[in-house]
Structures are given as C-alpha cells and as structure tokens.
C-alpha cells in the first residue's frame, strides 16, 4: 500500500489534487483544510464529509499528531514550556508566552541544529532532521487548543535554524497565514536566523513580510567567529549587506539579537563597534541577557553592563531594548529540556 499522506501538511491546492486523484470532488478540500487547522486529528470527526469519503481518507491519509510529554508552567509569569514527542520518538520544545497584546508561541523548526553556536544548548545534540510544515503548524495548533485561546504571534526561535529548512518554513508560513486556517498575519511572525546569507536574499524576494531577526551576538568577525561557526562561511560584511537588501525589498525593520555574555562581547568598545556596524539601517537591537547553560561555560552579563551597553548603542540613535526574561524559574535555555530528557534526567 502506498504511504499515507499527512493532511495537515497540505495547502488547499494540494488537497484538491489529492481529492481529484481519489475520484472525489474538489470542494471538499476547503472543508478538510478547516478541520485539520482547527486541530481535528480523527478523520471520523470531520462530520460534514460522507462516511464513504472518511473511510477512503483513512486508508490514504492521516493528520499529524504529537503527544505533550512535559509541560512546565512558570509561577512568575505563566510562561509554559511544552515538550512534544513526534511520530518517530524525536523530541522538540515550544514555549507559550503571555503578553498584554496576546499569546505568542516560540516554535522549533528542526530536531537539533547543525549550526554549532557555542552558547546554545540546542546544538549540543547532533542534528536529526527537519520538521515538516505540519509539525511546525501543529506546535501552534496544539498549544492553542491546550490553553483554549487564540495565538496571535509566532516567533520561530526555538530549536533549529529555520532558513536551513527553507522550503518547509515557507510552506508553514503560507499555511499558518491562510484565512481559512489560523489566519495569523505575516507581520505577527518573526523568524530568527544565525545568518544564512543566500537564504536571506531568497527570502527578500518571496513577498512574505515577516520580521527577520538576525542572531548577531558580536560586532566583529573575530569574536563572532569564535562563538558562531557560521560566521566563517558568511562573514559580517556579507551578512549586513544581505540585511540591507532585505529591508530595502520588504521595507521591514530588522531586529538584531545580541546575547550579552560576560567578558566575551559585553565591553563598551563592543557596543560602539556594534552601533557603527548597523548605524543608518532600518533596524532595532534586542539585547538578551544570555541564558546560563551550565555546559557552555558562558555566564550572563551583569545588570550594570547590560544597561551600559544599551546606553551606548542608543546614543547612536539606534532603538535598543532588553528582552524581558520570560519564565526564568522554569528555565532551561531553549533546547535544554530536550537535552535533559535525552540524557534521561
């Protein structure tokens, strides 16, 4: 028997094609799309489809589904960390954050990551595989159902490098944005990349106005190369040039993420170099008090240093914020819970 297909991984055109191949009517595609995007996993629960069609569908298709194997709720701010088990027993994490403007979900895009950033827990385990578009979508759907609330914002900043899973991330964006699906606006979605220059250039041509966040974390090649191996392939001048092309093409402001690591990248001169590097760009700097991951040996900068860094960058007329620490009591840097579970802790 041919392999069954995942209905949640299909857009309406693909569903139509699939139905026609089965000898069914195209208009059913919209109905199926709505069911799966509402979180319905059991084809028998798609009550506006005839019984014979449901039986046929069950033979040829399924709906992606995964189990919540751990859920940790912050007592400080209600942030929830979810750990999901996928169909092949792989594990990923997602985080739900509550803001005054609504609920935001931080999703993973890959199982593990190839990029090797030295401060990141996700990269300590080898890369296993890309997530499908439906596995990204289902993180948002499952969390929305779990809390019985509408999710209004998405950040693709969990485990993985989203632009290293380019085709699936694009498909996910179009699915999650679809008006018959979750209908989350592109402007409410941020994608974070460590700097895959050719992919940033490609993305600038897709007419998808998502916010691009660049994991910068250092103001020069020397420091960046030490903590982010990707910098050897795509050094800062190439990365900044690609960012300028992206902002020109999309008219969207870029966010530069900068994790402050004690004595590594948090000196006054670093702040000056950073400001000079990006001055005049349509951008914003988000300073992140780095998560202390015991195994990395990196330690968070002091509050005073963070404030000094912010003041210096701002003095160049660049808008700068310090990321609020969400769920600090349930912490575990992104990827750390997965790692603990894999180690059997």
| Cβ within 8 Å of residue 15, ≥6 positions away | 7, 28, 29, 32, 33
Task: Please report whether residue 176 would count as binding ligand SF4 according to CB under 6 A.
Answer: no
In the residue annotation, 334 being an active-site residue is answered as yes
From the list 38-46, 108-116, 140-148, 197-205, the region that binds ligand SF4 by CB under 6 A is: 108-116
Nearest distance in Å: CB 223, ligand SF4: 15
Task: Please report whether residue 122 would count as binding ligand SF4 according to CB under 6 A.
Answer: yes
64 or 296, CB closer to ligand SF4? Answer: 296
| Cβ within 8 Å of residue 149, ≥6 positions away | 103
Partner residues linked to 153 by β-bridges? 104
Of 106, 194, 243, 334, which is the active-site residue?
Answer: 334
Q: Which of 117, 175, 216, 275 binds ligand SF4 (CB under 6 A)?
A: 117
Q: Which of 92, 96, 111, 113 binds ligand SF4 (CB under 6 A)?
A: 113
Nearest distance in Å: CB 336, ligand SF4: 11
In the residue annotation, 269 being an active-site residue is answered as no
Nearest of 107, 92, 115, 120 to residue 158 by alpha carbon: 107
Of 93, 135, 161, 257, which is the active-site residue?
Answer: 93
113 or 175, CB closer to ligand SF4? Answer: 113
Task: Please report whether residue 194 would count as binding ligand SF4 according to CB under 6 A.
Answer: yes
From the list 118-126, 247-255, 322-330, 337-345, the region that binds ligand SF4 by CB under 6 A is: 118-126
Nearest distance in Å: CB 185, ligand SF4: 24
Contact 301/334 with Cβ under 8 angstroms? no
Task: Please report whether residue 94 would count as binding ligand SF4 according to CB under 6 A.
Answer: no
Task: Please report whether residue 231 would count as binding ligand SF4 according to CB under 6 A.
Answer: no
Euclidean distance between CA atoms 273 and 278, whole angstroms: 9
Encoded tokens for 45: 């629960």
Nearest distance in Å: CB 105, ligand SF4: 16
Euclidean distance between CA atoms 247 and 282, whole angstroms: 7
Q: Which of 159, 218, 243, 312 binds ligand SF4 (CB under 6 A)?
A: 159
Q: What is the DSSP string of 125-155?
A: SPP-EEPPHHHHHHHHHHHHHHHTS-EEEEE
Task: Please report whether residue 64 would count as binding ligand SF4 according to CB under 6 A.
Answer: no
Q: At which residue do the structure tokens 């709906």 appear?
A: 63
Task: Please report whether residue 289 would count as binding ligand SF4 according to CB under 6 A.
Answer: no
Contact 126/112 with Cβ under 8 angstroms? yes
Task: Please report whether residue 161 would count as binding ligand SF4 according to CB under 6 A.
Answer: yes
Reduce the DSSP state of residue 342 to 3 states and report it. Answer: helix
Nearest of 204, 194, 192, 101 to residue 153 by alpha carbon: 101
Nearest distance in Å: CB 113, ligand SF4: 3
Nearest distance in Å: CB 203, ligand SF4: 16
Contact 64/135 with Cβ under 8 angstroms? yes
Euclidean distance between CA atoms 193 and 299, whole angstroms: 23
Reduce the DSSP state of residue 255 to 3 states and report it. Answer: strand
Interface residue list for ligand SF4 (CB under 6 A): 113, 115-117, 120, 122-123, 159-161, 194, 215
């Amino acid at each position: 028997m041919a392999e069954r297909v995942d209905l949640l991984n299909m857009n309406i055109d693909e569903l139509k094609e699939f139905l026609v191949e089965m000898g069914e009517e195209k208009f059913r595609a919209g109905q199926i799309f709505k069911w799966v995007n509402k979180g319905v996993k059991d084809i028998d629960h798609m009550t506006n489809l005839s019984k014979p069609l449901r039986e046929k569908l069950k033979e040829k298709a399924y709906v992606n589904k995964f189990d919540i194997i751990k859920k940790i709720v912050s007592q400080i701010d209600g942030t929830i960390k979810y750990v999901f088990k996928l169909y092949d027993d792989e594990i990923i994490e997602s985080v739900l954050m509550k803001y005054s403007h609504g609920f935001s979900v931080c999703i993973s895009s890959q199982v593990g990551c190839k990029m090797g950033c030295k401060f990141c827990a996700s990269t300590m385990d080898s890369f296993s595989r890309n997530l499908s578009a439906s596995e990204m979508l289902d993180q948002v759907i499952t969390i929305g159902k779990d809390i019985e609330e509408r999710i209004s914002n998405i950040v693709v900043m969990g485990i993985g490098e989203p632009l290293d899973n380019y085709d699936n991330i694009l498909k996910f964006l179009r699915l999650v944005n679809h008006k018959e699906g979750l209908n989350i606006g592109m402007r409410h979605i941020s994608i974070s990349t460590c700097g895959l220059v050719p992919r940033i250039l490609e993305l600038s041509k897709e007419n998808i106005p998502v916010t691009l966040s660049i994991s910068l974390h250092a103001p020069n090649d020397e420091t960046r190369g030490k903590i982010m191996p990707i910098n050897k392939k795509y050094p800062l001048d190439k990365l900044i040039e690609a960012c300028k092309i992206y902002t020109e093409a999309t008219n969207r402001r870029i966010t530069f993420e900068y994790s402050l690591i004690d004595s590594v990248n948090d000196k006054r001169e670093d702040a000056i170099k950073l400001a000079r590097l990006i001055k005049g760009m349509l951008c914003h700097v988000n300073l992140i008090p780095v998560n202390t991951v015991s195994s990395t040996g990196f330690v968070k900068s002091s509050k005073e240093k963070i404030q000094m860094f912010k003041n210096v960058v701002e003095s160049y007329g660049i808008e700068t914020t310090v990321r609020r620490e969400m769920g600090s009591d349930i912490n575990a840097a992104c990827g750390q819970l997965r790692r603990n579970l894999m180690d059997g802790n």
